[in-house]
């Protein structure tokens, strides 16, 4: 099982009525990320900052998939990481060398030490860094539209 970190934007944009889901649509792509966690194909990793963001963007659960996602976060099926920030060396590699946005260092902090970790993001400035992040930190960046 591979580990993944899910940006709060994906959770936010997935928190809507499932009737709006059309195959291949952006909503469908985002919900697939959540479904991979629910079906135990991927194990979600998160830290306190991500949990806070998830709770803020999805105060009211609009569909069963989001409800199941939050249940997994509160179970042994998810990995809660204690660190929210990066060491100086990893910060220099991610932000300085790779161009990762400094305000999103908590995503990399959650992914570090995971099993074949990936970070699922929606923003293109994260995707631009993907090759360098892979080379330096061995973390895949998955751009979800």
Residues 6+ apart with CB under 8 A from 29: 144, 145
Listing DSSP states for 90-135 in one string gives HHIIIIIIT---GGGHHHHHHHTT-SS-EEEE--HHHHHTHHHHHH
Domain total in the chain: 1
Note the pLDDT tens digit of each residue in 63-84.
999 999 999 999 999 999 999 9
- We report the CATH number of the domain holding residue 30 as 3.40.50
Place of tokens 């099982």: 1
**CA dihedral sign of residues 122, 21, 57, 111:** negative
Radius of gyration of the chain (CA): 14
Q: What is the pTM of this model?
A: 0.95
pLDDT per residue, tens digit, the chain (145 aa), is: 899 999 999 999 999 999 989 999 999 999 999 999 999 999 999 999 999 999 999 999 999 999 999 999 999 999 999 999 999 999 999 999 999 999 999 999 999 999 999 999 999 999 999 999 999 999 999 999 8
Domain coverage including residue 90: 2-143
């Amino acid at each position: 099982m591979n580990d993944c970190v899910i940006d709060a934007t994906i959770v936010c944009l997935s928190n809507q009525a499932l009737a709006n889901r059309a195959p291949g649509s952006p909503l469908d792509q985002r919900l697939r990320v959540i479904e991979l966690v629910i079906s135990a194909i991927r194990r979600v990793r998160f830290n306190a900052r991500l949990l806070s963001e998830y709770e803020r963007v999805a105060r009211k659960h609009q569909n069963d998939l989001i409800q199941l996602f939050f249940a997994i976060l509160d179970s042994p099926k998810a990995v809660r990481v204690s660190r929210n920030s990066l060491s100086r060396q990893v910060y220099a590699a991610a932000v300085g060398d790779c161009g990762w946005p400094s305000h999103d260092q908590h995503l990399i902090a959650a992914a570090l030490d995971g099993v074949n970790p990936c970070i699922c993001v929606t923003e293109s400035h994260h995707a631009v860094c993907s090759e360098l992040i892979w080379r330096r930190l061995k973390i895949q960046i998955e751009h979800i539209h």
